[in-house]
Amino acid sequence: MGIVIALAGNPNAGKTTLFNRLTGLHQRVGNWPRVTVERKEGRLAKHKDVRVIDLPGIYSLAASSLEEVIAQDFLTGQSPEVVVDVVDATNLERNLFLTTNLLDLGLPMVVALNMMDQVTAAGSSIDAAALAERLGCPVVPISARTGAGVKELVEAALAAAEAASPPDPAGRSRYPEPVENLLAQIETTLPESVPAPARRFAAIKAAERDAGYTPSDESVRAQFEDIIAGLEAELGTTVESAIIQERYRQLGPLAASVLKRPAKPRVNWSDRIDAVVTNRWAALPIFAAVIFAVYYIAVTTVGTLLTDWANDQLLGEDGWTLFGLEVPGVAAVVGGWLEAASVAPWLSGLILDGIVGGVGAVLGFVPQMMVLFILLAVLEECGYIARVAFILDRLFRRFGLSGKSFIPMLISTGCGIPGIMSSRTIDTPSDRRMTVMTTTFMPCGAKLPIIALISGAVFGGAAWVAPSTYFLGIGAIIVSGLILKKTKPFLGRPSPFVMELPPYHLPRPGQVLRVMWERSWSFIKRAGTIILLSAIVIWFLSSFGVVDGRLQMVDDLNNGLLAGLGAGIAPIFAPLGFGTWDATVATITGLVAKENVVATMGVLYNLGEVGEDDPTLLATFGTHFTAVSGLSFLAFNLLCAPCFAAIGAIHREMNNPRWTWFAIGYQTVFAYSIALLVYQFGALGTGGGGIGTVFAAAVAALLIFLLVRPQPKAVDGTAPAVLDSAPAGVGR
C-alpha cells in the first residue's frame, strides 16, 4: 500500500498550495466514502509509493460539521502513516488549537509552519526548535508559495512515517484534575482494539458526548453520563467547553514563548488596504466596481475581441493571417473538404450545420471564458475574494443568510457542481439545503456564452448587461433567503461564519494559469462530448420531418420534427416573451447543459460562423428577440434549474428525492416568475400590456407578501424539516 500522508489544517492555511507543490500533476479527484464531498489525492513527486490526501480545511476535530466529520473519520479510521499539520504561522495561536486536537490522536505527526516568508517580512521570528520541544513532534518552517523548506518537510514526514513513533505525550494539553480523572476512568473502559496512542483522544470524545465514541454498554453509558453530569455541575460548564477553554488558556503562553515580534512593528499593508476595501460604507461600492470591471474586461472589451476572432476567423469562413500566410477558418476548410469529396447533402449538413455550427458556436466563447477565469483567479489568489465573503456576511445576515453561503456562490461562478458540493462547510442543515437550492443562481462558466450572446446580439454589447447578471444572481439568492427563511423547513438563525483573512500578496502567474486551464478544459471537454451529441440530435430533429408520410430532409426548419415538438411547449413561454418553438427548444436543451442554449441556436440560426456583433446575427436575432424579451430570456435561463450534472449533485447533497424535486421546482418557478415580471412590466413600459400583465401584477403582489410577512417563531430555536428529517448530504 505504501505510505499515506494526510494534510490537515485550518482553511486558508495554505494546505492546497502545499498539496499542489507536493504532488505536481500526479493528483486525482474522488469522493469520500459515503459522502458527497470532493477530495484530492495525489502521489508525492519522486515517491510514487507515497500517497498524499488533502483533508478538508477544519478548525478542530469537534465533528460538528461535515468536513470535521470527514477529517476525524479518516484520521481515526484510515490511520495514515503520518499527519502533516499545516499551520498558518501568521496566526500561530489560533492555528495551534487544531494542532492540540491532532496531537491527541497519537498518530505520527509533523507540523509545517507555513507562510514563514510573511512572518519574516513582518520582522517577526518563530523558534521552531522550541516549539517542537513543547509539542513533542517535529516542526518545519516552510513557505508553500515559494517552496522554501518543502524538501525538509518531506524528509521529516517520511522519517516520522518510517519510525512510526507517536508524538511525545508531554506535548499534549493538560486539563483540570477532575477532567483528567474522568478521562483516565473512561480510558479503562475502552475496548482493547483502541491502540494506546489513540486512547486519550477516544476518551476526550466520549467525555464530550461524541456519538461515535459513546460506550456501547447501556449500563456503562448511564454510569458515565451521571459522572459527566456531576462534573459539569461542579465545573459550571460542559466538559467540552472546559476542554476548549483549557486548550486556549495554554496556547497563549505557548505561542508567546516561541514567537518574537519586533519592538516597532512594520507597516502592515494588508491592514491598510482592508481599512478601505472592508470599510462599512465603501466595501459594497468597491465590490460592485470590481465585478463591473471584471465582466467589462471579460465580456465587453478584451473577451469580445478574442471571441470575435475565434468565431469569425478561427472557426468561421474568414480565416486569419499567420506570419504572412493566409490560414483558412475551420468552417472554410471543412466545407472545402466536403465539397471536394462530393459527400451527400445530409452528411454535409450534419457536419457543417450540426457539428461546426453547434459545437463551434460554443467553442467560440472559450477565449471569453478564459479571460473571465483569469480575472477571478487573480482576485482569489491576491486575497480579495476572502474579503468579499467577509463583506457579504454582513449583508447576508440582514436577510437571514450566512456568509458561508458566499463560498459556494463564488465557486459556482466557475461551475455549479463544486459550488453545490462546497455547501458542506455550512453547519446548519436548513442553511445547507437553502444554499444548495440557490447557489446555482450565480452565472457559471457555462452560462457565460448565453450572457455574451444576448449582450452582443440584442443590446449591442452594452457594458451593463454582463455584470448585471452577477448581481441578478446575488439578488435572487437574497430574495430567496428572505422567502425561504420564513417557511418551516428553513427557520432558525443563520450559521456562524468564521474565516481567516489571508494577507494580500501578488498573484502567482503559474497558479492563475493553472486555475484558468482547469476550468476552461472542463468546459472544452463538455463541448466535445455532451454538446457534440446534443448538436447532432438537434440538427437531425430540425433538418428532418415527415413529408407525405415519409421521414426526409426538409428545406424549411419550421417543417422539422423539432419545430413540432417545440410548438407544443412554446405556449408555456409565451407570457415570458419568447414563445417561439426555436427559443423554447433552446431553453429546454439547456437543462442537459447550459452551453446547449447557444449550441442549439448555433444549429438553428447558423451562429457558428459569425461573431456576436455581426450584422447578419443581429438581424436574425432581431426577428426573434426584442430588448425586453431578450432580458426575459436571459433571466429565465440564468435562474432556472441547472444542467443535469448539477441536478445530480443537488440530489447527492440533499440525499432525498423529495428535497431534490423541491429544489428543482423552486428554481424553475422562481425563474419563471422573475422572467414574467421582466417581460410583462417591460412591455407595459413600452406601450404593451394585457392579460399577462394582470397575471404578472398578481405574481408581484405575492412576492412582496412573502418578503414582508412576519417571521414565524421556531420551536426551541430549531427549524423542523417538514419534507425529511435527514440532514443535507450524508452524515456519519
Summarised one tens digit per residue, pLDDT across range 235-265 is: 778 888 888 888 888 888 899 999 998 877 6
Percentage, residues of the chain above pLDDT 90: 19
One domain, residues 9 and 88: yes
| Rounded Cα distance, 456 and 451, in Å | 8
Please name every residue paired with 260 in a beta bridge, in sequence order, or none if there are none.
Answer: 125
Asked whether residue 216 is domain-assigned, the answer is yes
Beta bridge partners of 86: 9, 112
Task: Of 249, 231, 242, give the one whose Cα is nearest residue 178.
Answer: 231
Amino acid, res. 439: T
Angle at 169 between CA 76 and CA 139, to 5 degrees: 85
Residue 101 lies in a domain: yes
Instruction: Express as a percent the part of the chain with pLDDT over 70.
Output: 85
Predicted local distance difference test score (pLDDT) of residue 541: 79
Rg (CA), the chain: 29
Domain containing 417: what range? 284-296+384-502+625-732
C-alpha distance across the termini of the chain, in Å: 26
Segment holding 9, helix H or strand E: strand 3-9
Which helix (H) or strand (E) segment holds residue 50: the answer is: strand 47-54
Pairwise CA distance, residues 329 & 351, whole Å: 15
Q: Would 476 be classed as within a structural domain?
A: yes
Report how far residue 109's alpha carbon sits from residue 112's, in angstroms, rounded to the nearest whole number: 10
SS3 673: helix
Give the position of cell 521570528.
125
Q: What is the pLDDT of residue 700?
A: 94
Q: Per-residue confidence at 233, pLDDT binned at 50, 70, 90?
A: confident
User: What mean pLDDT, rounded, does the chain reach?
Assistant: 80
The number of distinct structural domains making up the chain is 4
Reported as type and span, the H/E element at residue 253 is helix 239-258
Q: How far apart are CA 432 and CA 425, in angstroms?
A: 8
Asked if residue 394 and residue 487 are part of one domain, the reply reads yes
The arithmetic mean of pLDDT across residues 528-550, rounded, is: 76
Position 679 pLDDT exceeds 90: yes
* Mean pLDDT along residues 214-221: 74
pLDDT at 701: 95
Q: Which of 455-459, 602-606, 679-683 has the highest mean pLDDT?
A: 679-683
Q: Are residues 141 and 187 in the same domain?
A: no
pLDDT interval class at 620 (50, 70, 90): low
Q: How does residue 692 score in pLDDT terms, banded at 50, 70 and 90?
A: confident
Distances (CA, A) of 247 to 93, 172, 173: 11, 10, 6
Same domain, 24 and 114: yes
Same domain, 17 and 120: yes
What's the pLDDT at 602? 67
pLDDT of residue 716: 45
Domain co-membership, 373 together with 513: yes
User: Which cell numbers hold the place of 118?
Assistant: 510573511
- Is 606 a residue whose pLDDT tops 80? no
Residue 731 confidence (pLDDT)? 32
Chosen domain end from 129, 151, 171? 171
Residues 289/297, Cβ–Cβ less than 8 Å:
no
- Using the 3D structure, point to which of 171, 187, 203 is the last residue of a domain: 171
Contact 75, 103 (CB under 8 A): no
**pLDDT above 80 for 401:** no
Question: Among positive and negative, which fits the CA dihedral 706, 708, 713, 717?
Answer: positive
SS3 368: helix
d(CA 56, CA 406): 18
Rounded Cα–Cα distance for residues 720 and 722 (Å): 6
CATH at 214? 1.10.287.1770
With b for 16 or more beta-carbon neighbours within 10 A and e for fewer, the 339-369 pattern comes to eeeeeeeeebbbbbbbbbbbbbbbbbbbbbb
State the average pLDDT over residues 467-481: 91
Final residue of a structural domain among 171, 199, 215: 171
**Same domain flag for 80 and 59:** yes
Within 10 A of 375 (CB to CB), how many other CB atoms are there? 21
Q: How many whole angstroms separate alpha carbon 524 and alpha carbon 593?
A: 13
Long-range contacts of 124-129 (CB under 8 A, 24+ apart): 124/259, 124/260, 124/261, 124/262, 125/259, 125/260, 126/89, 126/92, 126/258, 126/259, 126/260, 127/258, 127/260, 128/258
For 662-693, b/e burial (b = at least 16 CB within 10 A) is bbbebbeebbbbbbbbbbbbbbbeeebeeebb
pLDDT at 286: 92
Kindly state whether residue 641 falls inside one of the protein's structural domains: yes
In a domain, 267, yes or no: no
Q: Which residue has the higher pLDDT, 229 or 127?
A: 127
Phi then psi dihedrals of residue 710, to 5 deg: -65, 155
* Beta strand 325-327 pairing with 3-9: unpaired
- Same domain flag for 115 and 56: yes
Asked if residue 460 belongs to a domain, the reply is yes
Are 288 and 209 contained in the same domain? Answer: no
Chain centre to alpha carbon of residue 382: 18
Parallel/antiparallel/unpaired status of strands 139-141 and 27-31: unpaired
Confidence of residue 359 (pLDDT cuts 50, 70, 90): low
Which of the given ranges, 47-51, 110-114, 287-291, 337-341, has the highest pLDDT on average? Answer: 110-114
Q: 168-172, 207-211, 227-231, 349-353: which range is least confident on average?
A: 349-353
| 163 & 92 share domain | yes
Do the beta carbons of residue 212 and residue 269 sit within 8 Å? Answer: no
Q: How many alpha carbons fall within 13 Å on the CB side of residue 271?
A: 5
- The answer on pLDDT for 138 being more than 90 is yes
Whether the per-residue pLDDT at 173 is higher than 50: the answer is yes
Please name the helix (run of DSSP H) or strand (run of DSSP E) that holds residue 109, with its range, or none.
strand 109-114
C-alpha–C-alpha distance, residues 537 and 603, integer Å: 10
pLDDT band at 714 (very low <50, low <70, confident <90, very high): low
Q: In this structure, is residue 71 part of a structural domain?
A: yes
Q: Pick from 25-29, 101-105, 191-195, 695-699 the range whose average pLDDT is largest.
A: 695-699
Q: Are residues 150 and 66 in the same domain?
A: yes
Mean pLDDT in residue range 498-519: 79
The 10s digit of each residue's pLDDT in 402-439 is 667 777 887 788 778 778 877 776 777 888 888 899 99
- In the predicted model, what is the mean pLDDT of residues 146-154? 92
Over residues 170-185, mean pLDDT: 82
CA distance 132 to 137: 5
* 535 neighbors 358 (Cβ within 8 angstroms): yes
- CB within 8 A of 644, min separation 6: which ones? 591, 592, 593
Question: Is residue 569 in a domain?
Answer: yes
Q: What is the model's pLDDT at position 463?
A: 86
- Tell me the mean pLDDT in the region 617-637: 80
- Residues 25 and 143 occupy one common structural domain: yes
- 74: domain CATH number? 3.40.50.300
